[in-house]
Amino acid sequence: MIAEAKETRASEVKSQSLHPLFELTAMRVREFLREKEAVFWVFVFPVLMTFALGIAFRNTAPEKTPVAIEASTTDTRASELAGVLSRSEEITATVVTPDEASRALRSGKVSIVVKPQDDTFEYRFDPTRPESRAARLLVDDVLQRGKGRTDVAQIAEQKVTEPGARYVDFLVPGLIGMNMMGSGLWGLGFTIVIARSRKLLKRFAATPMRRSHYLLSFMLSRLIFLVLEVAAVIVFAALAFGFTVRGSWLSLGLITVLGGFTFSGIGLLVAARPTTIEGVSGLMNFIMLPMWLLSGTFFSSERFPEVLQPFIKALPLTALNDVLRALMNEGATLASMWIPISVLLAWCLISFVVALKIFKWQ
């Protein structure tokens, strides 16, 4: 009885509703966070993807140049020579029979074959292969020095590995772009079409809710998640691979917002009419598939034929990826990226205007 009385009192506490835009946005955020799968695909998956691809394509320390010494194994001259060459940190030398040597060279297992003769050496290599030409210089250098050649000029070396030039550096902006496209389209497309198919949109239309508030709530919740989404990948890549953003954070922020709005706009457009999940799924795949393939997420879109380039450059994801890469990897300014930024702006504006025109509430 006492417990009951307490409960009644507790429920007499007033619950204030806040501004409709706040309540709508809060609803979006709650619905998203309570959907475990959505959280996985938006936050965890891109990080896993960065990790997997970053590891698979990491730039390893330069490998030693494989060199074959052609001779019979009993030949002492050959094993002596192998000893001399192997003393260099950059060479692994093995003594093999002439047959094996030719095979190894052909298959690329070794870059050069050295054949010791009485007092001379014969180099056998393929000059069209860059690594073979490099191997020739390296081997020659070691052998000449071994014979007593001395360097005349004093050299100071400085070894640099450019962080912005690794595959993972290329990959991270692309993954962020792709993720922004996916979460924008799925986030708006699905949520709106589900609400329509469940007659929830119609129910909202029966209230004095401002329709702009409903649509704005999607923008706002997208912005909140966007920050987290982008930060998750950048922070992870920074910790795991030493990824750095070279451009200004402010520019990155602005582009993130623009990209987020652009794909929200496209999401809204996709969701403007369909009444079934199947319908909107098909439409979304139709729109996203070309961009997954062409927009240069995993490899540069420049590799596609010249005739396709104008089309590829006009895709919003290509534009976003290009801007993100220029910002993150090259430290470019926004002004220098005005072409892809204009492409994004155009997509953003057009999709919003058209979506609002054709949007159906039931």
Under rule CB under 8 A, residue 39 binds other proteins: no
| Nearer to other proteins among residue 208 and residue 310 (C-beta) | 208
Under rule CB under 8 A, residue 15 binds other proteins: yes
| Nearer to other proteins among residue 107 and residue 207 (C-beta) | 207
| Nearer to other proteins among residue 200 and residue 235 (C-beta) | 200
DSSP secondary structure, 143-179, as one string: HHHHTT----S---------GGGSHHHHHHHHHHHHH
Binding residues among 148-177 for other proteins as defined by CB under 8 A: none
Under rule CB under 8 A, residue 7 binds other proteins: yes
Sign of the C-alpha dihedral, residues 194, 196, 197, 202? positive
Give the closest residue to 186 by CA, choosing from 123, 271, 122, 116: 271
| Stretch of 25-33, 42-50, 70-78, 175-183 contacting other proteins, by CB under 8 A | 25-33
Under rule CB under 8 A, residue 106 binds other proteins: no
Sign of the C-alpha dihedral, residues 120, 124, 126, 132? negative
Under rule CB under 8 A, residue 208 binds other proteins: yes
| Stretch of 11-19, 54-62, 114-122, 236-244 contacting other proteins, by CB under 8 A | 11-19
Half-sphere exposure of 355 (CA within 13 A, CB side): 24
DSSP secondary structure, 78-95, as one string: HHHHHHHHHHSTTEEEEE
Max Cα-Cα span within the chain:
109
| Nearer to other proteins among residue 4 and residue 99 (C-beta) | 4
Q: Least CB distance from residue 359 to other proteins, whole Å?
A: 13
| Stretch of 30-38, 160-168, 232-240, 280-288 contacting other proteins, by CB under 8 A | 30-38
Separation CA 310–CA 239 (nearest Å): 37
Helix 277-294 with 167-197: angle, nearest 10 deg:
170
Tallying the residues shown for the chain, one arrives at 362
Under rule CB under 8 A, residue 55 binds other proteins: no
Binding residues among 179-198 for other proteins as defined by CB under 8 A: 195, 198
Q: In what order do the strands lie in the sheet with 65-70?
A: 91-96, 65-70, 112-116, 121-124
Under rule CB under 8 A, residue 27 binds other proteins: yes
Under rule CB under 8 A, residue 37 binds other proteins: no
Under rule CB under 8 A, residue 30 binds other proteins: yes
Sign of the C-alpha dihedral, residues 343, 347, 350, 353? negative
| Nearer to other proteins among residue 214 and residue 236 (C-beta) | 214
| Stretch of 67-75, 95-103, 208-216, 311-319 contacting other proteins, by CB under 8 A | 208-216
| Residue in 52, 55, 137, 206 binding other proteins, rule: CB under 8 A | 206
Outline where DSSP puts E strands in the chain.
65-70, 91-96, 112-116, 121-124
Q: Least CB distance from residue 315 to other proteins, whole Å?
A: 33
Q: Which helix (H) or strand (E) holds 232?
A: helix 211-241
| Nearer to other proteins among residue 37 and residue 306 (C-beta) | 37
| Stretch of 20-28, 226-234, 302-310, 335-343 contacting other proteins, by CB under 8 A | 20-28
Residue 110 burial class via C-beta count within 10 angstroms: exposed 0-12, middle 13-18, buried 19 and up: buried
Under rule CB under 8 A, residue 200 binds other proteins: yes
| Nearer to other proteins among residue 220 and residue 346 (C-beta) | 220
β-strand pairing of 121-124 with 112-116: antiparallel
Under rule CB under 8 A, residue 235 binds other proteins: no
| Stretch of 15-23, 102-110, 224-232, 281-289 contacting other proteins, by CB under 8 A | 15-23
Task: Copy the structure tokens of residue 154.
Answer: 């004093």
Separation CA 224–CA 236 (nearest Å): 19
| Nearer to other proteins among residue 20 and residue 331 (C-beta) | 20
Residues of the shown chain interacting with other proteins in the complex, contacts defined by CB under 8 A: 7-8, 11-15, 17-20, 22-24, 26-27, 30-31, 34-35, 195, 198-200, 202-210, 362
